[in-house]
Structure 1
Amino acid sequence: MTTKLLVLLCLLLPGLLHAQQKPAPKKAATTKFDPRQRPRNLTDEQLLDQVQRQTFRYFWDFGHPVSGMARERSNVAYEYGNEVVTTGGTGFGIMAIIVAADRKWITREHAATRILKIVKFLEKADSFHGVFSHWLNGETGKVIRFSQKDDGGDLVETSFLFEGLICARQYFTQETKTEQELRNHILWMWEGVEWNWHTQGGQNVLYWHWSPNNGWSMNHQIHGWNECLITYVLAASSPKYAIDKKVYDQGWATGDYFRNGKEFYKTKLPLGFDYGGPLFFSHYTFLGLDPRGLKDQYADYMQQNQAHTRINYAYCVDNPKKYKGYGPNSWGLTASDSYKGYAAHSPSEDLGVISPTAALSAMPYAPAESMAALKHFYNDLGDKIWSDYGFVDGFSEHHNWYAKSHLAIDQGPIVGMIENHRTGLLWKLFMSSPDVQRGLTKLGFESPQIKK
C-alpha cells in the first residue's frame, strides 16, 4: 500500500464530544432528540437524522475548547495527551457543522462563529509554505509530529482541511459581519497554500511532506489510486500556486496501483488495488467532489466508487474467512481501530472487523445496502456499538471485540456522505466554487456541475 494512512498505520490519536438541540425533522416530527437515548421504531428519515445528528456531536461539543478543531480521537493513545487535533479531520468536521446548520440543529450564526474560531487559530498556528501538519497542539498551534520525520507540512491533510473550508466559504454567503469575516479569512489562507512547492523544485508529481527540519527526506510521492485525488484537484485549483495538468497525468495517474480493469465478484474495477482497498478511498475526496457524472480520461468516478463499494459488499457477503457476523446487513471494510490496533481493513487485509463508517459513508453508492447495515448496527447491535457520538470506530462479533473509540476521520464522512445522499448539499457547495471549476477543467474533467 502506498498511501500514508496505510503506511503509517499505527500512529493515530486523541478526542470526545456532546451536542445542541434541534427542532424535530420536517418529515418526522414524532421523536424528540435526546443524545442519551436510542429511540426505536424510527422511520428511515428519522434514523438518518438520528445518526447524523449524534455523530455531529463529536465535532461540536468535543471540539477542542481553545482551537475549536477536531480532536484526533476520543480516547487518549500513544501518550500524546488530550491536546492533539487533526487537520484533515477538522476539514471533515467543518463539513459536518455546515450540515448541522443547514438542518437547524445549531444556528447558522453559531456554526459560522465556530468555523471562524478554527480559521483564526489556524492563521496563527505552525504552517509551512501555507501547508499545515497532520497534527497540531489544539492549545498552542504547535506541530505534534506524526512520525519521526513527519513534523512539517502534510499536503494531503491540508487538502482535506480546505475541502471543508471551501464548502464553508460557499455556504456562508450572507452579509453579516461574522460571515463576511469568515469568507475573507478562508480566502486569505486558501490563496497562501503553496501547492506547487510540493513538486520539489518543479517535478511532475506532488510530494506528501516537507519539513523545515527534515526537508524532503520522507520522499513520499503522491500516486493514485487512493484517497488523494482531492489533493491534485485543489492543487490545480489554487489561485496563486497551481500545478499544471502534466503534474496530474505524470504524477497522480502513474502509480503502480492506478489502473486496474479486472473483475472481482463479477464487478469490473477501473482503478486501484485488487478488490479496491479500504473504502475510505471513495469517501474522503468525495465529501466535496461530486462523483455524479464526473469523468476524465481515466475513469467515470461514480462508476469507480460504486464498483469499489459493490466489491467490498460482495466480499463481506461471501465471507471467505467465515467470520461471525458478516453478511448483507453487516458489511464494510476500511481503515479503523481493531482488536490489534489501527489497521487498514479491506478484502486483502480482513481481520474480522467491521468499521461502521465504511457502509454508512457509502450511502450515495449503495443506498439499499448501506441502509440495511445502518438499521442492523442501530437496532440489533446498538447496545454494544452506539454511544454519545454515534457508532464506535469498529467491532468484531467473531472476536467479541467492540471499540470504545471514535476517530474524526471516520465520524466526519458519516455525516457528510449521508447528507450528500439525502440532499447533495456538500457536493453542491464544493462544486460551486469558481476556483474548483477552473481546476477541474484544467485537469480535463467533465461534470454536469462545471459551468461552460
Structure 2
Amino acid sequence: MTLVQQKTFDYFWKFAHPVSGLAPERTITPDTVTIGGSGFGVMAILVGIERKFITREEGLDRLLKIVNFLLKADHYHGIWPHWMHGATGKTVPFSRRDDGGDIVESAFMWQGLLCVRQYFDREAPKERELRDKIGWMWSETEWNWYTQGGQDVLYWHWSPNQGWAMNHQVRGYNECLIAYVLAASSPTYPISPKAYHQGWAVNTHFYNGKDYYGIKLPLGFPYGGPLFFAHYSFLGLDPRGLKDQYADYWEQNRNHTLINRQYCIDNPKKFKGYGPECWGLTASDNHEFYNAHSPTNDLGVITPTAALSSFPYTPEYSMQAMRHFYDKLGDRLWGEYGFYDAFNETTNWFDYQYLAIDQGPIVVMIENYRSGLLWRLFMSCPEVKTGLKRLGFSSPAL
C-alpha cells in the first residue's frame, strides 16, 4: 500500500508543473494543468507529509507556491477553468464553448484546499500565510453566481465570452455532490438549500432503488455508472454514517462498488482477464481514446483507480486487485508513477500514460482507508458542518 501511494504521489510531486506546482492533465500534456486533478493532488501532498515521503516544510512550500499561483490565475467570479497554462494561469479552453469557470472542477480543488487549511494549523508565519490566502480565496468564490440568476440549480459553466451558452445544469446522481455541499457551505456566497433539493435531487436518474446481483443501489444509473461517482466527492466528504433524506452514502458507495465488481466477475461480454481479482470500470483512457466505462458501457477496459480508490469500501477485494495488477500484470501496468491508467487484455492494449484525475484518488482513498486523514480534515471545517446541516445531512462528524 505504501509503495503504491508513494509512486502515485510522485506524479503530483515530481511531475508537477515547475512554475505553478499544479498537476498536468496527463503525462503527454506537461504544460496544461488541471484544476480538479490538482485538487486531488494537494490532498495527496498532505498524505506525502504524513507518510514521510516529504517533510512538512517541503509540503508547505509547494502548497504556498500553488496557492500563490491560484490567487493570480484566471478565474470567473472566483471559479477556476477546467484547464490552464501551467506557467501563466491563463485559461486553456476545454472545448470551444467551455472557456470559463468550471464549478465542478473548482469544487474538487476546494475540497483539497480546505483540507490543506485545516492541516496547517500551527502559528508559524508561513502556515498562517497559507491559511489566510486560502481563506481569502474561499470567501471570494461566488458559488451562487452559478445559479444563473437565482435558479434552484447549479450550472456547470460560465464564461465572459459565452455567458451561459453551455447551459449544463448540475443534477444528480453522479460525481458532483461535493459542488452542492461546498456551495451550501460558502460563508459569503451560499446557494439556497432549495437548489440542492429541487436541482440536484430532481433528475430522471437520481433515484434507483433496484437490486443488481442481489445488492441494492439507492441512487444513480443502472448498475451505478462509472466508479468515480463513489470517489471524487468522497475524498474529503466522509461517507461513514453520512445520510440525508435520499440515501445512506456509505451504503450507496459500498454497494455501487460491489455491483461493479460483481458485474466484472459475471463478465457477460466474456472479455479476457475479468474476474474476482481483476475488476473496476470507470472513466479512463482506452484502446480507442477515452470513455466513461461502466457495466452499461463496457469495452473490456479495466482501470486500476476504480478498484484501488475503493479501498475504504471493499478493502479485501481492492487488495486482491492491487496484488493482481502488481504481481500478475507487472511491468506492462506498473511504471514511474505507479499503475498506468488502464488496460484491455482482449485487445492486448496497455496504456503508457497517467491522468491526474485518476492517480489522485488512489493516494487519497488508500489513506482514508488507512487513517481517515482527509475525511477528518475536511469534516473538521466549520463551514462544511454548517453547509451539511443546511442541506439536511446527518453524520457522526456533525
Fold equivalence (TM over 0.5)? yes
Is 1:63 the counterpart of 2:16? The answer is yes
1:429 to 351, 374, 377: 377
For the residues of structure 1 that align with 2:56 and 2:330, how far apart are their CA atoms? 31
1:193 to 120, 141, 158: 141
For the residues of structure 2 that align with 1:207 and 1:244, how far apart are their CA atoms? 14
1:174 to 99, 122, 127: 122
Identity %: 63
Is 1:54 the counterpart of 2:19? The answer is no
Structure-to-structure mapping, 1:387-402, within 5 angstroms: 387-402=335-350
Is 1:240 the counterpart of 2:188? The answer is yes
In structure 2, what is the equivalent of residue 291 of structure 1? 239
Give the aligned residue type for 1:268. Answer: K
In structure 2, what is the equivalent of residue 271 of structure 1? 219
Write out per-residue CA displacement over residues 358-409 of structure 1, whole angstroms, 9 at most, x where no aligned residue: 0000001111110000000011111210001000000011110000010000
In structure 1, what is the equivalent of residue 208 of structure 2? 260
In structure 2, what is the equivalent of residue 75 of structure 1? 28
Runs of at least 5 residues in structure 1 that lack an aligned partner in the other structure: 1-47, 77-81
In structure 2, what is the equivalent of residue 204 of structure 1? 152
Give the aligned residue type for 1:54. Answer: K
Write out per-residue CA displacement over residues 206-232 of structure 1, whole angstroms, 9 at most, x where no aligned residue: 000000000001000000000000000
Give the aligned residue type for 1:195. Answer: W
Give 3-state SS (helix, strand or coil) of 1:263's partner. strand
For the residues of structure 2 that align with 1:381 and 1:442, how far apart are their CA atoms? 47
In structure 2, what is the equivalent of residue 96 of structure 1? 44
Displacement after TM superposition at 1:177 (Å):
1.7
Displacement after TM superposition at 1:165 (Å):
0.1
For the residues of structure 1 that align with 2:45 and 2:348, how far apart are their CA atoms? 34
Displacement after TM superposition at 1:294 (Å):
0.2
Give the aligned residue type for 1:65. Answer: P
Give the aligned residue type for 1:157. Answer: E
Displacement after TM superposition at 1:83 (Å):
1.3
For the residues of structure 1 that align with 2:121 and 2:58, how far apart are their CA atoms? 15
Is 1:118 the counterpart of 2:66? The answer is yes
For the residues of structure 1 that align with 2:28 and 2:365, how far apart are their CA atoms? 24
Displacement after TM superposition at 1:256 (Å):
1.4
1:107 to 55, 61, 84: 55
Is 1:342 the counterpart of 2:306? The answer is no
For the residues of structure 1 that align with 2:343 and 2:24, how far apart are their CA atoms? 21
Write out per-residue CA displacement over residues 270-315 of structure 1, whole angstroms, 9 at most, x where no aligned residue: 0000010000000000000000000000000000001100100000
Is 1:216 the counterpart of 2:164? The answer is yes
Displacement after TM superposition at 1:176 (Å):
1.4
Displacement after TM superposition at 1:53 (Å):
0.5
Q: CA RMSD in A?
A: 0.6
Write out per-residue CA displacement over residues 220-263 of structure 1, whole angstroms, 9 at most, x where no aligned residue: 00000000000000000001000111110000000211000011
Give 3-state SS (helix, strand or coil) of 1:254's partner. coil
In structure 2, what is the equivalent of residue 301 of structure 1? 249
**Count, aligned residues:** 398
In structure 1, what is the equivalent of residue 98 of structure 2? 150
Find runs of 4+ consecutive structure 1 residues off by over 2 angstroms: none
Give the aligned residue type for 2:55. Answer: T
For the residues of structure 2 that align with 1:309 and 1:360, how far apart are their CA atoms? 11
Give 3-state SS (helix, strand or coil) of 2:98's partner. coil
Give 3-state SS (helix, strand or coil) of 1:141's partner. coil
Displacement after TM superposition at 1:104 (Å):
1.2
Length-normalised TM-score, structure 1:
0.88
Give 3-state SS (helix, strand or coil) of 1:299's partner. coil
Write out per-residue CA displacement over residues 66-102 of structure 1, whole angstroms, 9 at most, x where no aligned residue: 00000000124xxxxx310000111000000000001
Give 3-state SS (helix, strand or coil) of 1:269's partner. strand
In structure 2, what is the equivalent of residue 45 of structure 1? none
Length-normalised TM-score, structure 2:
0.99
Give 3-state SS (helix, strand or coil) of 2:173's partner. coil
